[in-house]
Amino acid sequence: MHISRTDTPPAGTAAGLPLRRRLRGESGVAIVEFALILPFLCLMIVLMLDVGRAFNYWIDTTHLAAEGARLAAVDKVPTGSTTLQQFIRSKASTDELANGGSDWIKDPLEVCVNSAAGAKVGDPVEVTVTTSFKWTPLLGIATSEIHGSATMRREVAPNHVTSVCG
């Protein structure tokens, strides 16, 4: 007994379907959709990281300004520093924030002590800490100023801390 085989594939397989019906299949659609969404997903992740970095630097500048205002209020320049501005810059949480020179922060922190001329005990002294932050440097989206400030009343007459930016 001889069994003959035909060259036609079994019914229900893709090879047995006409070309038009084979092209209507949905295999591979998910990977194409993922490939279309992936660049936007990556951009969103990079932007979230940038927002986190900027928020951290804003918290740091506010903290540094408060520390500087307290030291200016008691007219103290800590040992090892020649100016209050130098001390505050050295207290920054990262070298990038203190000295700049990166893609996100180009310039060092600017620390300003503002006090009225002839200040006396009870007069306000304000310290501002400022830097420029570049959002997503690879895309060159924008640059923003990150600014922290604090004001306190002088507890002693000023002798060591002067009103200057640096």
User: For residue 18, what pLDDT is reported?
Assistant: 66
Are 129 and 81 within 8 A, CB to CB? no
Higher pLDDT, 77 or 9: 77
Instruction: Please give the share of the chain, as a percent, with pLDDT higher than 70.
Output: 84
Q: Which domain holds residue 32?
A: 26-153
Q: Please give the Cα distance from 144 to 14 (Å, whole number).
A: 57
The total number of residues written for the chain in this structure: 166
Q: Does 160 fall in a domain?
A: no
CA 88 → CA 7, 100, 158, distances in Å?
A: 84, 14, 18
Residue 65 burial (C-beta neighbours within 10 Å; 0-12, 13-18, 19+): buried
Q: Does 43 fall in a domain?
A: yes
Q: Does 91 fall in a domain?
A: yes
Q: How does pLDDT run across 103-114, given as a tens digit for each residue?
A: 889 999 999 998
Q: Does 67 fall in a domain?
A: yes
Q: Does 12 fall in a domain?
A: no
> For residue 114, which phi and psi values (nearest 5 degrees)?
-115, 120
Report the number of distinct structural domains present in the chain. 1
**pTM assigned to the model:** 0.75
Q: What tokens appear for 77 in the block? A: 């320049």
Q: Where are the alpha helices (DSSP H) in the chain?
A: 19-23, 29-73, 84-90, 95-99
